[in-house]
Structure 1
């Protein structure tokens, strides 16, 4: 037999949840963040494109793929933290050129956006964009997934009732608990937000997170949920191009969350300008390259009332409801 006691085994996984607990307990976990769009483009230019050209018997002069077209492929046809899917799409584009060369057909040596769509089809993925602030109760949150960061919208509606809270959008237990904490905190601190606790008890709230087919969980949407409900009860606008992420407690504290780099990059892709984070996440921001932070303003908070002061405008939405 072989003595494996001195052997180091290295394993990779896209998700911690899929690793058996007994095995995970014996591992030393090293978390690595996914590549940014800019990093994927550079990897493609320097490694993937030359590799695929060589494998398909083409020379660099036979097909020129520009930065704009690489970005289109990354953003429109892949959704991953790595570059495996990107390499497959690049190979598909290069195979098309190789076929044209082999059959002596005319083709564009310099790849265009039209060529990309003809070869790969219509873009499968569209970038999420921050929505307007004309409707009370709609807040942009930031999420982390196994394939990188993403933005998510928290929506809430109010109807006459008995103070019930309904949650939809395929939410997990922790996320539902965050919504419950948010509502109970508002009830207990109604005066702080200029609300009447008795009035709150006369209305039902329906909180929804779109893309219901996608499961969602975790505590990081807590401050977005609470902001959504305060906006709903006060009918105040959420400031434009704002996003936020953070856990909340019944005492109104804002706690740090993970996946900050990925969330920041998702915010940039969605044209977010201002991001609200827990003060304890400032160290995460300090570790991110300055180039990735250009155009972003960060607001660090430790209390929930600070979030409301920063995120909500004093102006009420158009056609504001009277809640009494």
Structure 2
């Protein structure tokens, strides 16, 4: 269990981090929390949205608020795996090879427009995400901790892209869909953009404190009934018709795997900690379900032709499965 002192200390750290992020970002409180949840769960996040919605700005601001090494890689069709992971460089003076580490050796890596690079580059990055290490020239190197990949995708341009295979997309803990700001938020964004100087973001956490918060999130209590609820939700994605959702029968080609249930449990616990609680609730699970499941529910071609979306399927499942 987590005592009140630990909760209070964590709440102070989270509040300070949110405040620094809010200096730069407008109307992105939920988005900020999702990035923090990815960090606390030691997971990776896929961010999808049209250009100009501050996806890159949010990631770079998070890195500035942490004492963490940040790298950004713009993915292009001519990128090679060595450009991500590193390679051996010949040294003429000594006649030997020296290892040059790639940008993946960072605490936070922004993979900008990940679907613009070919599959071999995507696979190299996703292997590093899954294993937490990279092999260069027969030698294995551990990646720094904490380590998080934040990958962006542009949903409106498909020409010249290499969509991530479903099995690789499943490696991402969360899939965030970034929406347009409200008119009031957009007015504030424009006002800030016209200011002469950019706000300064203070460092509020270092790597050790981030790892300590991650360990604390892992200790958040998850009741057995809530675990059964999570398993029921994920199981229903595989056969919604059998769970009483007749309109969805035959519309889901593949449902979520047990990895989704693990992700849902971990993220619900992290959200509870961000909310100042030492225990998770059904509301935490419901809040995280769309971001955890939208990239893990694969629809049939017929369902897509009808305009059905994974978010609509998840919403229907949340409404159908009994809450403990």
Q: Which structure's CA Rg is the greater one?
A: 1
TM, length-normalised to structure 1: 0.25
TM-score normalised by structure 2 residue count = 0.25
Higher relative contact order (CA 8 A, sep 6+): 2
